[in-house]
């Protein structure tokens, strides 16, 4: 772990990070990366088993982590989640709003429940967790809030009107909250991944993957670690003069 800190110039020692949707995929890698850099991690997932698995993985590597299951789309649960994080670690320094789902379908066939579910999980959860965590960060006069958006929120994507709307909303949310909290030494930024190799993309057909490759200038799908590295930078003091920005990690898709 010490070598990791020295080699990157990023030191999150004694910082406390709450990562939502950390049970698998991008969220899991973010939690592991921040832990490797010294942060104590509150691992959130909707399911207690997955959050416990990631927390155990961190502890086996010598880090400090607590599993906290909650549905962050429900405001009361998001508020309780932040309170539990503070109860365990006495503070919350870093919030990564990563929880997200997809319910893809063409607009004319999209069900109202699928629209509502995606907007609630992807956008309302960020509002709920940020509102709850920022109260503590304001008292501390320190905080790093990182919202995981998507390239779909920048350029759109067929069959993802709900998902693209939720992620585009997250970008506007990031800018507004960054302006509100800047005076308390709290930065708010967004990371917009492109197509990342996760459980969801592994199920894509070879033809769909081939079509995707043609749209990505770097010619490959991203890895969850590509996103985790950017999040770690934004969570660190190296990014103390950066706020209200969106960083695309997409192999060049949105340029």
Active site residue 163: yes
- Note whether 14 and 37 are within 8 A (CB): no
Cα(104)–Cα(233) distance, rounded to whole angstroms? 31
If one counts every other C-beta atom within 10 angstroms of the C-beta of residue 109, the result is 8
- Note whether 121 and 98 are within 8 A (CB): no
**Of 75, 142, 163, 241, which is the active-site residue?**
163
Cα(97)–Cα(22) distance, rounded to whole angstroms? 10
Helix axes 48-60, 25-36, angle to 10 degrees: 30
Angle at the Cα of 105 from the Cα atoms of 102 and 111, rounded to 5 degrees: 90
Beta strands in the chain (DSSP E): 16-19, 40-45, 65-69, 94-97, 143-148, 186-193, 246-249
> What distances in angstroms separate CA 153 from CA 105, 113, 170, 203, 221, one per listed residue?
16, 20, 8, 22, 18
The DSSP secondary-structure symbol of 67 reads E
- Catalytic residue set: 163
């Amino acid at each position: 772990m010490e070598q990791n800190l020295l080699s990157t110039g990023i030191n999150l020692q004694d910082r406390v990070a709450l990562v939502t949707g950390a049970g698998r995929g991008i969220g899991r890698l973010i939690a592991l990366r921040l832990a490797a850099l010294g942060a104590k991690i509150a691992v959130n997932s909707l399911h207690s088993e997955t959050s416990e698995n990631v927390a155990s993985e961190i502890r086996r590597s010598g880090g400090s982590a607590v599993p906290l299951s909650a549905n962050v789309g429900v405001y009361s649960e998001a508020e309780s989640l932040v309170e539990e994080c503070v109860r365990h670690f006495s503070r919350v320094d870093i919030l990564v709003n990563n929880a997200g789902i997809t319910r893809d379908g063409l607009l004319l066939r999209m069900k109202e429940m699928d629209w509502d579910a995606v907007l609630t999980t992807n956008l309302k959860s960020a509002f709920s967790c940020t509102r709850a965590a920022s109260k503590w960060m304001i008292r501390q006069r320190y905080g790093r809030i990182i919202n995981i958006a998507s390239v779909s929120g920048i350029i759109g994507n067929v069959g993802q009107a709900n998902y693209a709307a939720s992620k585009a909303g997250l970008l506007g949310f990031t800018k507004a909250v960054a302006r509100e909290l800047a005076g308390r030494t709290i930065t708010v930024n967004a990371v917009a991944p492109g197509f990342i190799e996760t459980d969801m993309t592994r199920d894509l057909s070879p033809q769909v993957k081939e079509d995707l490759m043609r749209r990505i200038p770097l010619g490959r799908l991203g890895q969850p670690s590509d996103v985790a590295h950017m999040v770690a930078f934004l969570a660190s003091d190296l990014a103390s003069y950066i706020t209200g920005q969106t960083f695309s990690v997409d192999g060049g898709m949105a340029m």
